[in-house]
Structure 1
Amino acid sequence: MEKKNLELAIQLRHELHAHPELSNHEVWTKQHLIDFLKAYTNLEIVDRGRWFYAIYYSKVGRRNIAFRADFDAIPIEETIDLTYGSQCPGVSHKCGHDGHSATLCGFALEIDQKGCDNNVFFLFQHAEETGDGAAECSVFIKENNIDEIFGWHNMSGIKQNTVHVIDGTAQCASKGMSIYMEGVPSHASEPEKGINPAFAIAKVIDAIPGFIDPAINKGIALCTVVQVDIGAKAFGVNASKGALRMTIRALYEEEMDRLQKNLEDVAKAEVEKYGLKVSFEYQDEFPETSNHKESSDKIRQVCKEKGIPMTELTEAFRASEDFGHYTKLTKGSYCYIGNGEDYPNLHSYEYNFRDDLIETGVELFKGLAEL
Structure 2
Amino acid sequence: MRRRLALHLSVLVVGAAVVRVAVVPAEVCPPVTSGEVRAAVDAAAGWLERGVQPSGRYTYGYDRDADVVSPDYNEVRHAGLVMVLYQAFAATSSSEALRAGDAGLQRALGQLLDHGDWIAWAPPGEVTSGGNGLLLAGMAIRRAATGDTTHDGIMRGIGRFLKEMQFPDGSVSSDWREGTGPIDNHSLYSTGETAWALVLMDREFPGEGWGEAAVRTIDYMVSDRDRAEGRFSRLPDHWAAHALADLRSDLRADPRLDYARRLAGYFSIRLRFESQRLGKGINLLVRWYPGTPAGVGTAGEGMGALHRLAVDDPRLSDLAEGIDDRIVCTAGLMVDRQVTPAESADGAHPLLEEGAWFYRGYTQMDDQQHTITALLEALPVLAAREAGR
Same fold (TM over 0.5): no
Structure with the larger strand share: 1
TM norm structure 1 = 0.25
Give the structure with the larger helix fraction. 2
User: Computing the radius of gyration over CA atoms, which structure comes out larger, 1 or 2?
Assistant: 1
